[in-house]
Structure 1
Amino acid sequence: MKIVHFHFGKDGGAERFFVHLVNAFAKRGVEQQVVIRPGRPWRASFDPSVRVIESHFRTASLDRVLLPLRVRSMIRKWKPDGILGWMPKGAKLVPGEEGPIRLARLGDYPTSLKKFRNIDVLVCNTPGIARHVRDMGWLRRVEVISNFTGTAVVKPVARGILDTPEDAYVVSSMGRFVPRKGFDVLVRMLARKPDIYLWLVGGGEEEQNLRELAAETGVADRLRFAGWQQDPQPYIAASDCFAMASSHEPLGNVILEAWAQDVPVVSTRSEGPTWFMRDGNNGLMVAIGDHNAFGEAIDRLQSDPGLARHLIEGGRKTLNRMFSEDAVVNAYINLISAG
C-alpha cells in the first residue's frame, strides 16, 4: 500500500499523533510520502522509510502555485492508494482528479467546508466532529477513527532536571500555550495549593503572560516550564497527576498520553473528554475555567491513594479498549483498501 500525506501543522499534540500514525503505517510496510512545513523539529522522528518533502503552502508565495503542480506530478507517477490531507489546509492541497481515495483527517471542528471540495471521505477523530460536519451540510462519506498513543510506560525524568524536590506533589500539563488551553487556570490553582509544583511542557504565545501571572499570584517558585520536548512522556511519567484545563478540546490526546504513563487525570468537561471520560471512573472532571475545582480534585487525589489507583486502572482500560494502535491503523488501512 502507498499513502501520501499533506500536513502543514506546527508543533503540538496533532503533530505528535501525525508522526505516530505515519510510523505505525511504516511498521506495516506501507510506503509513504509526506509534505510538511520546512524546519519542523519532529521531522527526525519519522521512520527512515518515509520520504519527506518540505514546502510552504502560503497564499502569497510561489509555493502556492508550484507545490500543487509538483504534487499532481508525483501522484501520477507514484500511483498511491490513498491521499490524506490533514486538517483544512492539508485538504486544500488534495488534487481534484479522479484516482486514489482522497481523505481529510479532522481533529477539530471546521468553520467551513470549502477546503474539502476534492475530498471523498472526512475522517473525524470524535463523534462530535462527525455530527458537526453533517450539521454543516456535508453529504459525502464520514468515518470516525480516533487517535492512539504509545502505551509503554517509560522511565521518568529526574525531578532535579526541573529543580523540583523529589518528595513534592507534581501536577503536569502539556500543549501549546494559547488561551483556549487554559494554562492560566492551572497557574491560579497553584495559589490555593501551596504544597504542589506545576510542570508545563510545551510553549507558545502565552508563555510570557503565564510567567507574569505566576509572579503576580506569588507562585513562580513552584511553576516550571519544561519547553517543547521531542518525547514529553518521561515528564508526564515523573508527575503525580496530569491536568487538562482546555476550554475547547476536540479530543484531548494529552489525556491518552497521561493514561499511557499510569498517571491519574483531572480534566475540564470540554468536548472530547466528555466523550471518553467518566468522572470517578477513569478521571476526575471539573467545570471549564474553575481553578478552585481543579484544586479540590487534586486534594482528593492527594488524600486518597486508592482513588488515584482506581482512576489509573480505569484510564488504562479505556486506552486499551478505544485507542489502541492496532484498531486505529486497521481502520485506516481498511478504509483505503476499500477505495
Structure 2
Amino acid sequence: MKILHFHYGTDGGAERFFVNLATALHARGVEQEFFVRPDRSWKSDIDKLGKVHEGYIRPLSLSWLFLPGRIRRIVKTFQPDVMMGWRPRVIRLMKNYPHILRVGRLGDYPTKLGAFASADRMIVNTPGVAERFVNLGWTKPIDVVSNFTRVKPCAPIAREKLSTRHDAFVVVAVGRFVKIKGYDMLIRALARLPGVILWLVGDGEERAALEKLAGELGVIDRIRFTGWQADPAPFLAGGDVVAISSSHETLGNVILEGWSMGLPVVSTRAKGPRWLITEGEDGLLVDIGDDAQFAAAIDQLRESARLRDHLTSGGRRTLEQRFTVDAVTTAYLDVLERGIKEHSKKCGGGTR
C-alpha cells in the first residue's frame, strides 16, 4: 500500500499522533510520502519514513499558483493507492484525483461539510465526531478509529531542573496554550491547593495572559512554564497527576499518555475525555470550568495513595484493552484496504 499524506498542522497532540501513526504504518511495510507545511518541528521524525514535500497553501500566494502542478508531479511519480488529508483545508487538494481513494481524517467536530466534499470516505477518532458528520448530512462511508500513544515509561526529568522539590506534589498539563485548553481554570484551581506545583508543558498565544493571571493569584512561584517539548514523556514521568482542563477536547491524547506513564488522570467532562474515561475506574471527571471541583479532585489524589494506585491500574488496563499500537494500526489498515477494494470496484478497475 502507498499513502500520500497531506498534513498542515503545527505542533500539538494531533501532530504527535500523526507522526506515531505514520511510524506504525511504516513498520507494517506501508510506503508513504508527505506534503507538510515548512519548518515543522516534527519533520525529522517523518524524514526517515518517506519523502517529505514542503509547501504553503495560502490562496493567492506564489506557492499556491504552482501547487496543483507540484501535486500532479508527486502523484505521477509516487502513484499512491491512497491520498489522506489530515485537515479540512488540505482535503480540498485531493479533488482532482477521483481515481485514487481519497480519505479525510478528522479529530474534531465539523461545522459544515463543504470542506470534505473531495473525500471518498472519512476516518474520525470518536463516535461523537462520526455522529456530527451524519447529523450534518454525510452519506459516504465513515469509520471510527481511535488514537494510540507511543509514549512509554521512561526516566523522569530531574525535578531540580524545574526548581521543584523532590517531595512536592506535582500536577502536569501538556498542550498548546489556547483558550479551549482551560489553563486559566487550572491556575485558579492551583490557587486552592497550597503547596502543589504545576508544570505547564507547552506554549502558545495565551502564555502572557496565563502568566499575568498566575501573578494576580499569587501562584506564579508554583508554576513551571517549560516551553514546547517535542517529547513530553520525561515531564509526565516526573509528575504525580495528569490534568486535562479543556472546555473542548475531541479525544484527549494526553489521557492516553498519562495512562501509559502510569499516572492518575483528572479531566473535565469534555466530550472526548467522557468517552475515554470510566469515572472512578481509570480517571476522575469534573465539570468544565469548575476550578473548585478540579482542585478537590487533585486534593483527593494527593491525600490517597490507594486511589492513585487504583486509577493508575485502571488506566493501564483501559489502554491495553482499547488503545494499543497494534490494534489501532490494524484498524487503520483494515479500513484503507477495504476502501481501496470498494473504490476500485466503483472506478471499474485499479485505483491508480
TM-score (norm 2): 0.94
Could you tell me whether the CA contact under 8 Å between 2:264 and 2:283 is conserved in 1?
yes
Could you tell me whether the CA contact under 8 Å between 1:68 and 1:95 is conserved in 2?
no
Q: In the TM superposition, what is the alpha-carbon distance from 1:6 to its structure 2 partner?
A: 0.2
Q: In the TM superposition, what is the alpha-carbon distance from 1:47 to its structure 2 partner?
A: 5.5
Matched, 1:79 2:79: yes
Could you tell me whether the CA contact under 8 Å between 2:22 and 2:49 is conserved in 1?
no
Counterpart of 2:103 in structure 1 is 103
Q: Which moved more, 1:222-231 or 1:22-31?
A: 22-31
* Matched residue type, 1:307: L
* Matched residue type, 1:58: R
Distance 1:49 1:27 in 2: 9
Could you tell me whether the CA contact under 8 Å between 1:7 and 1:87 is conserved in 2?
yes
Q: In the TM superposition, what is the alpha-carbon distance from 1:78 to its structure 2 partner?
A: 1.8
Counterpart of 2:326 in structure 1 is 326
Q: For residues 300-326 of structure 1, what are the alpha-carbon distances to aligned partners after superposition, in whole Å with 9 as ceiling and x for unaligned?
A: 111111111110111111111111111
Matched, 1:161 2:161: yes
Counterpart of 2:301 in structure 1 is 301
- SS, match of residue 242 in structure 2: strand
* Matched residue type, 1:209: A
* Matched residue type, 1:54: E
* Matched residue type, 2:257: E
Q: In the TM superposition, what is the alpha-carbon distance from 1:100 to its structure 2 partner?
A: 2.4
Q: For residues 244-287 of structure 1, what are the alpha-carbon distances to aligned partners after superposition, in whole Å with 9 as ceiling and x for unaligned?
A: 00000000011111111001000000010111211111000000
Task: Structure 2 unaligned segments of length 5 or more: list them.
Answer: 341-352
Distance 2:332 2:69 in 1: 27
- SS, match of residue 56 in structure 1: coil
- SS, match of residue 153 in structure 1: coil
Distance 1:47 1:330 in 2: 23
Distance 2:164 2:77 in 1: 55
Distance 2:52 2:121 in 1: 24
Distance 1:155 1:174 in 2: 18
Q: How does 1:1-339 map to 2 (within 5 A)?
A: 1-46=1-46, 48-338=48-338, 339=340
Distance 1:281 1:49 in 2: 38
Which portions of structure 1, spanning 4 or more consecutive aligned residues, are displaced by more than 4 angstroms?
none
Distance 2:299 2:141 in 1: 46
Q: For residues 45-92 of structure 1, what are the alpha-carbon distances to aligned partners after superposition, in whole Å with 9 as ceiling and x for unaligned?
A: 225132111111112312223222211232133211111100212212
Distance 1:35 1:13 in 2: 19
- C-alpha RMSD over aligned residues: 1.1
TM-score (norm 1): 0.98
Distance 1:145 1:61 in 2: 35
Could you tell me whether the CA contact under 8 Å between 2:152 and 2:233 is conserved in 1?
no
Could you tell me whether the CA contact under 8 Å between 2:151 and 2:233 is conserved in 1?
no
Q: Which moved more, 1:135-144 or 1:329-338?
A: 329-338
Distance 1:95 1:74 in 2: 15
Q: Which moved more, 1:194-203 or 1:87-96?
A: 87-96
* Matched residue type, 1:242: V
Identity of aligned residues (%): 48
Count residues in correspondence.
339
Q: For residues 226-260 of structure 1, what are the alpha-carbon distances to aligned partners after superposition, in whole Å with 9 as ceiling and x for unaligned?
A: 11111011101100001000000000011111111
Distance 2:318 2:68 in 1: 41
Q: Which moved more, 1:63-72 or 1:149-158?
A: 63-72
Q: For residues 72-119 of structure 1, what are the alpha-carbon distances to aligned partners after superposition, in whole Å with 9 as ceiling and x for unaligned?
A: 232133211111100212212113322221100010011121111111
- SS, match of residue 122 in structure 1: strand
Could you tell me whether the CA contact under 8 Å between 1:175 and 1:201 is conserved in 2?
yes
